[in-house]
Amino acid sequence: MTSTTKRLEASKTKKGFITPKTAPYIFVLPALLLFLAFTVYPIIASFLLSFQTRISGVYSFTGLDNYIRLFSDPVFYKALGNTFIILLVQVPVMLFLAVILAVLLQSKLLNMKGFYRVSFFTPAITSLVAASIIFILLLNTDYGLVNYILTSIGMERVPWLSNGLWAKISLIMVTTWRWTGYNMVILLAGLQNIPHDLYEAASIDGASSIKKFFHITIPQLKPVLLFCFVLSTIGSFQLFDEPYNLTGGGPNNATLTITYYLYNQGFGYFDFGYASAIAYVIVLFIAVLSWLQFKVVKE
Amino acid sequence: MKKQYFSVFLITVMVLLLTACSGSGESAADVSIPQNPEDVEGDVTVWAWALEANYLEKDVLPAFEEKYPNVNVTIEHIGVDQVYQKVSAGLSSGGSGLPDVVQVENNRIHSFTDEFPDAFTNLSELGYDEHEDEFAEAKIAGLKDSDGNIIAMPRDLGPVAVLYRTDIFEEAGVDPASIETWNDYIAAGKKVLEQTGKYFLGTDGDGILRIMMQQQGSYYFDEDGKLDISSDAGEKAANILQQMKDSELITYTNNWDGQVAAMKNGEVATHPGAVWWSGTMIEQMPELAGKWDMFKLPAFEEGGTRASNDGGSALAIPSESDNKAAAYVFAEFATTDVDSQIKALTNRGLFPALTAAYEEPVFSEEQEYFNNQPFFKKFADIVPEIPAVNHDGAELEVRSVMGSEIEAFLLDDKPALEMLTEGEKQAVQQTGKETTE
């Protein structure tokens, strides 16, 4: 400690640059520079880029052209619609499942809790490319295990990935498979924070476990649930790997998500100006939706 | 005061960081290719994927190194998407980090040169023009810039014909020689469906539409790069597709794997496709050996063109390469050496664009897998007939639009003609291009 201050003082007398006052700034400088170069700069640059169009290799400002194009682009609306459908169906289903699983895992009657927790959480850390390949095999119309089971109990084959509606359903299933465990772990942490006396008091008053669930667990979990909702909303707007690997956005754009569309424009067709405009519209949507969710929960 | 110094310092560092990346390549005009192979020296890095990367590394490199002992070539195997992403990122940042030679598909070349006009070295200036006559015309026409200079060296080609199952045709009593027009093809398909209950063909995208349009010398774009989807040629193709669908001859196969599965399990009797399907067929459906053969693409009217092309790639030299002479001799060797082209065909199933290679005996050999026919010779015979078309820079966007439209046509019963008009409208919206008319 003292040697450090001495050194600092010594350097102060020598150069007058590193003083106890400036030292903290110098220490955070590397991190700050990286933050500026890799976070702040891209944010500003892509914002500026969203007002530019590249004409034969040169970017020039074209005002709101990209945004005007965006709002008259049927594929963008389709991607937006797909994203909202997935969001509205998948997130409630997933969070419902996550709550149930979390409560069950909290139960004193259950053995091998660690095993179940790991099992449900594993999909969240599995490589999605590997997982998608497995799902492509499972859901294959002709050879897939799922259809094999369906046909062997006398049902029709389902065109899981080759029909617009079923492709969406498949996508929702895979997303749910992947993220339920993740939300479950967060909710589990929330459950453990609920004071036990609340349940004891309710038991003394003769409340059933269902009553306890709806009148203690859910209200107490509200802030955690909100957190999960906001995270899942953002996650849905960023949904990319699953449709990219599973369906390629098809058939007929039925599983094209908004981030996938952004990717196509940017890295498929090198239209970075338009892609940036899409990115900023996504940001806007996420901001508005998160604000709405906070608003709804607060009242 | 101190704070001000500090922010000045910060800004300086930022500016330095951001301007640090810019490369410097030699201009093509300054490069001369030494006559003596031993005088060419330097390091060459190549980006390529899958079969082409294997070809360059295993078939070309040993022979090349013998001839050019002082050139040190490194082949980097990179996935196709990664190659394109890295190339576009490299070009965006002024050419830094790009290799000396890169594999590019014909239909991608112009999406780079539209965005970055000086992306690739002008090969005509380096003398590649002397080889121009050695290649299929349809291939090399697509590798020139607007001034007629060659900007990429032609490698493989995808002449298209109809691959068909001999056993199913026999069972249905259809003689492939009798199929000369698309109407004959549909009639044969109905017979097959009636006799065997099998679909006649499957499709997973807009490939079939492009094949049929190119066959008529037309494409999604005209020569000036204007959109020309709902052209006469487009309508003729759409009408044929509509008839196929109305007669339930065509099935939607979802994707590449679905298409392979449909061919493998005998769901479809034919497949209008490029010669490079042969590699996939031999590898993935060996049990069907002897049961496949080909006949020429049906014409739209009697005596009409019976050839088209699907796919194929080329080798380009990014302008920022610092070792253009060595890069040039390597790419030149890999594209014009006949022995290497033959190895590409026999070892990898890559069909050369170099027409001189077609004279080699291996082309006329009878292929056991393909009904003991001189399969490659039959494809080589098609090559001179392939009409050249314009692969515009916006090709990928338009293909994606038309791919979706074909899916709407097959899955949602959208009329084929509507698919063309709506596809064109959407292509205008997506690309900002004008249409002809």
Looking at the structure, tell me whether residues B320 and B420 fall in a common domain: no
Looking at the structure, tell me whether residues B331 and B278 fall in a common domain: no
A248 contacts chain B (CB < 8 A): yes
Looking at the structure, tell me whether residues B166 and B237 fall in a common domain: yes
Instruction: Give the domain range for residue B68.
Output: 30-157+312-359
Does residue B86 sit within a domain? yes
Write out chain B residues lying below 8 Å of A56, CB-based.
114-115, 117
In three-state form (DSSP H/G/I as H, E/B as E, the rest C), the secondary structure along B160-203 is EEEEEEHHHHHHHCCCHHHCCEHHHHHHHHHHHHHHHCCECEEE
User: What's the mean pLDDT in A17-25?
Assistant: 86
Q: Indicate the residue among B298, B325, B359 that finishes a domain.
A: B359
Write out chain A residues lying below 8 Å of B12, CB-based.
none
Write out chain A residues lying below 8 Å of B17, CB-based.
33, 37
A54 contacts chain B (CB < 8 A): yes
pLDDT score recorded for residue A15: 59
User: What's the mean pLDDT in A72-78?
Assistant: 91
Match 């050369």 to its residue by tokens: B352
Q: Which residue from A minimizes the CA distance to B119?
A: A57
Percent of chain A with pLDDT over 90: 48
Looking at the structure, tell me whether residues A45 and A114 fall in a common domain: no
Looking at the structure, tell me whether residues A273 and A143 fall in a common domain: yes
Looking at the structure, tell me whether residues A117 and A49 fall in a common domain: no
Quote the minimal CA–CA distance from A76 to chain B in Å. 10
**How many domains is chain A built from?**
2
A291 contacts chain B (CB < 8 A): no
Looking at the structure, tell me whether residues A106 and A59 fall in a common domain: no
From the list B255, B412, B432, the residue facing A252 with the nearest CB is B412
pLDDT score recorded for residue A208: 87
Write out chain A residues lying below 8 Å of B253, CB-based.
162
ipTM of this complex: 0.74
From the list A74, A162, A270, the residue facing B88 with the nearest CB is A270
Chains A, B: CB contacts within 8 A come to 82
For residue A72, count other CB atoms closer than 10 A to its CB: 9
Say whether the peptide bond before residue A74 is cis (omega within 30 degrees of 0): no
Does residue A224 sit within a domain? yes
Match 């639009």 to its residue by tokens: B401
Contact A162 B252 (CB under 8 A): yes
Task: Report the candidate in A168, A172, A220 with the shortest Cα–Cα distance to residue A197.
Answer: A220
Looking at the structure, tell me whether residues A29 and A158 fall in a common domain: no
From the list A54, A57, A73, the residue facing B429 with the nearest CB is A73
pLDDT digits (tens, 9 = 90+) for B67-91: 999 999 999 999 888 898 899 888 8
Looking at the structure, tell me whether residues B403 and B346 fall in a common domain: no
In DSSP terms, which residues pair with B46 in a beta bridge?
B75, B101
From the list B85, B92, B411, the residue facing A164 with the nearest CB is B411
Does residue A7 sit within a domain? no
Does residue A22 sit within a domain? yes
pLDDT by residue, tens only, chain B of 437 residues? 455 565 555 565 555 555 444 444 556 557 788 888 989 999 999 999 988 999 999 999 999 999 999 999 999 999 888 898 899 888 888 888 899 999 999 988 988 888 788 899 999 999 999 999 999 988 998 899 888 999 999 999 999 999 999 999 999 999 999 999 999 999 999 999 999 999 999 998 899 999 999 999 999 999 888 999 999 999 999 999 999 999 999 999 888 888 998 999 999 999 999 999 988 898 889 999 999 999 999 999 999 999 999 989 999 999 999 999 999 999 999 999 999 999 999 888 899 999 999 999 999 999 999 999 999 999 999 999 999 999 888 888 899 899 999 999 999 899 999 999 999 999 998 888 899 87
pLDDT digits (tens, 9 = 90+) for A116-169: 989 999 999 988 888 888 998 899 887 889 999 999 999 888 989 888 899 999
pTM (predicted TM-score): 0.80
Looking at the structure, tell me whether residues A83 and A205 fall in a common domain: yes
Does residue B187 sit within a domain? yes
Looking at the structure, tell me whether residues B263 and B385 fall in a common domain: yes
In DSSP terms, which residues pair with A52 in a beta bridge?
A61
Distance CA B274, CA B353 (A): 13
Quote the minimal CA–CA distance from A75 to chain B in Å. 9
Does residue A53 sit within a domain? yes
Q: Are B252 and B406 in contact (CB under 8 A)?
A: no
Q: Which residue from B minimizes the CA distance to A42?
A: B18
Does residue A6 sit within a domain? no
Does residue A3 sit within a domain? no
Looking at the structure, tell me whether residues A257 and A190 fall in a common domain: yes
Please classify residue A5 by burial: count the beta carbons closer than 10 Å to its beta carbon, then call 0-12 exposed, 13-18 middle and 19+ buried. exposed
Does residue B186 sit within a domain? yes
For residue B393, the domain's CATH number is: 3.40.190.10
Contact A250 B404 (CB under 8 A): yes
pLDDT score recorded for residue B24: 47
What's CA B152's distance to the chain center, in Å? 13
Cα distances from B145 to residues B67, B110, B218, B378, in angstroms, run 31, 8, 19, 31
Looking at the structure, tell me whether residues B65 and B122 fall in a common domain: yes
Looking at the structure, tell me whether residues B60 and B145 fall in a common domain: yes
H or E segment and range at residue B408: helix B395-411
Does residue A262 sit within a domain? yes
Question: Following DSSP, what letter does each residue of B120-153 receive, concatenated?
Answer: B--TTTTTGGGGGGGB-HHHHHTTB-TTS-B-SE
Quote the minimal CA–CA distance from A146 to chain B in Å. 16
pLDDT score recorded for residue B16: 54
pLDDT score recorded for residue B80: 87
Contact B10 A33 (CB under 8 A): yes
Looking at the structure, tell me whether residues A141 and A229 fall in a common domain: yes
Distance CA A232, CA A186 (A): 12
Looking at the structure, tell me whether residues A188 and A147 fall in a common domain: yes
For residue A246, the domain's CATH number is: 1.10.3720.10
Looking at the structure, tell me whether residues B292 and B400 fall in a common domain: yes
pLDDT digits (tens, 9 = 90+) for A263-281: 999 888 878 899 999 999 9
Copy the structure tokens of residue A216: 């203690």
Quote the minimal CA–CA distance from A92 to chain B in Å. 30
Looking at the structure, tell me whether residues B174 and B132 fall in a common domain: no
Looking at the structure, tell me whether residues B83 and B152 fall in a common domain: yes
pLDDT at A1 over 70: no
Does residue A222 sit within a domain? yes
Task: Report the candidate in B73, B72, B310 with the shortest Cα–Cα distance to residue B204.
Answer: B310
Contact A33 B407 (CB under 8 A): no
Contact B265 A248 (CB under 8 A): no
Q: Hey, what amino acid is at A119?
A: S
Looking at the structure, tell me whether residues A225 and A202 fall in a common domain: yes
Looking at the structure, tell me whether residues B287 and B426 fall in a common domain: yes
Contact B261 A269 (CB under 8 A): no
Q: What average pLDDT does the structure give for chain A?
A: 88
pLDDT score recorded for residue B4: 59
From the list B6, B258, B265, the residue facing A162 with the nearest CB is B258
**How many domains is chain B built from?**
2
Quote the minimal CA–CA distance from A153 to chain B in Å. 23
Question: Kind of pairing, strands B159-165 and B71-77?
Answer: unpaired
Looking at the structure, tell me whether residues B50 and B177 fall in a common domain: no
Instruction: Give the domain range for residue A213.
Output: 67-297
Quote the minimal CA–CA distance from B330 to chain A in Å. 29
Distance CA A66, CA A53 (A): 8
